[in-house]
């Protein structure tokens, strides 16, 4: 089974994340970035499926030049090849434009299954799998906590707040996995060295047949109009308990509308 895994290069959650002051988009160049943690579960699932049943795993990403790091990490984990859609016109794209670019790239790849993480750690919208399925005209089975692949049939367990569902569909399809589905492997030294020889292609919008006017900030349905930096943390207030500590605590909570 040939699998395409969509991955994303995101700002490191531990870094000082901010917006680009020139256009109010997320700064993806001036901060440290990495492969989205939730996408590692998608990569692991794809590797597990191909290791037991054969096939290849292709990782697909779109973004600035630094997004190649997400592809590289995926290859180090064991993916067979990578594709990076790199084009200045993509900057500022919303979910609708992102799904368009990814869908057109997927059409150029040999695939039986498309796997994604449950969401990106920077956006958290969880809408790309559904959008991809709609654009590709195939089924979607999402938020999988457990996956069983039997030939062309994929069966998942989806755990909800009040019930657990079993959902089944035939390939080709879009599958998203949760962070409960597996335990992603760490790149081994052998995997890191092998990744250097694995093929990575870089595609432009022209090669995908996507009109630049359909993507980017100018075509986005939503935009950030303004932002304010988080104020610096101030020193806390020390209250000496002289028998009225409880009263002072309640007054503090009430004045800040915590109670």
176 is in which domain, residue-wise? 3-219
pLDDT on residue 114: 98
Tell me the pLDDT tens digit for each residue of 6-18: 999 999 888 778 8
| CATH number, domain with residue 164 | 3.40.50.620
- Give the other-Cβ count within 10 Å of 214's Cβ: 14
Answer whether residue 8 is part of any domain: yes
- Decide if 226 is inside a domain: no
SS3 content of the chain, % helix, strand, coil (to 5): 30, 25, 45
Cβ(29)–Cβ(64) under 8 Å?
A: yes
How far does Cα 163 stand from its chain's mean position?
A: 26
Residue 170 lies in a domain: yes
Query: pLDDT tens digits for 82-139?
Result: 999 999 999 999 999 999 999 999 999 999 999 999 999 888 899 999 999 999 999 9
165 contacts 47 by C-beta, under 8 angstroms: no
Residue-wise pLDDT for 148-182, tens only, equals: 999 999 999 999 999 999 999 999 999 999 999 99
Structure-token match 């191909």, residue found: 50
Residue 234 lies in a domain: no
In angstroms, rounded to a whole number, what is the distance separating the alpha carbons of residues 208 and 59? 16
- Asked if the structure places residue 246 within a domain, the reply is no
CB 105 within 8 A of CB 73: no
- 3-class SS of residue 118: coil
224 in a domain, yes or no?
no
Write down the pLDDT at residue 136: 98
Residue 80 in this model has a pLDDT that exceeds 90 = yes
When divided into structural domains, the chain yields a total of 1
Q: Other C-beta atoms within 10 Å of 200: how many?
A: 15
Decide if 143 is inside a domain: yes
91-101 burial by CB neighbour count: b if 16+ within 10 A, else e?
bbbbbbbbbbb
Within a domain: residue 185? yes
Quote the pTM value: 0.87
């Amino acid at each position: 089974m040939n699998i395409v895994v969509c991955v994303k290069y995101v700002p490191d959650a531990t870094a000082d994340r901010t917006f680009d002051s020139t256009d109010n988009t997320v700064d993806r160049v001036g901060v440290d970035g990495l492969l989205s943690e939730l996408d590692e579960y998608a990569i692991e699932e794809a590797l597990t499926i191909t290791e037991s049943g054969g096939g290849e795993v292709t990782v697909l990403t779109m973004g600035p030049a630094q997004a190649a790091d997400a592809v590289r990490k995926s290859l180090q984990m064991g993916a067979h090849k990578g594709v990076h859609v790199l084009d200045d016109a993509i900057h500022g794209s919303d979910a609708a434009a992102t799904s368009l670019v990814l869908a057109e790239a997927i059409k150029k790849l040999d695939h039986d299954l498309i796997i994604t993480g449950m969401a990106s750690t920077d956006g958290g919208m969880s809408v790309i799998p559904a959008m991809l399925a709609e654009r590709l005209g195939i089924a979607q089975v999402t938020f999988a906590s457990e996956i069983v692949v039997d030939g062309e049939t994929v069966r998942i367990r989806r755990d909800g707040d009040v019930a657990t569902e079993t959902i089944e569909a035939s390939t080709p399809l879009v599958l998203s996995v949760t962070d409960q589905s597996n335990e992603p492997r760490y790149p081994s030294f052998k995997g890191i060295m092998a990744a250097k020889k694995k093929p990575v292609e870089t595609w432009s919008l022209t090669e995908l047949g996507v009109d630049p006017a359909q993507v980017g900030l100018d075509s986005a349905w939503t935009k950030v109009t303004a932002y304010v930096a988080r104020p610096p943390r101030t020193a806390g207030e020390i209250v000496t308990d002289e028998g009225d500590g409880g009263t002072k605590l309640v007054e503090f909570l009430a004045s800040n509308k915590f109670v």
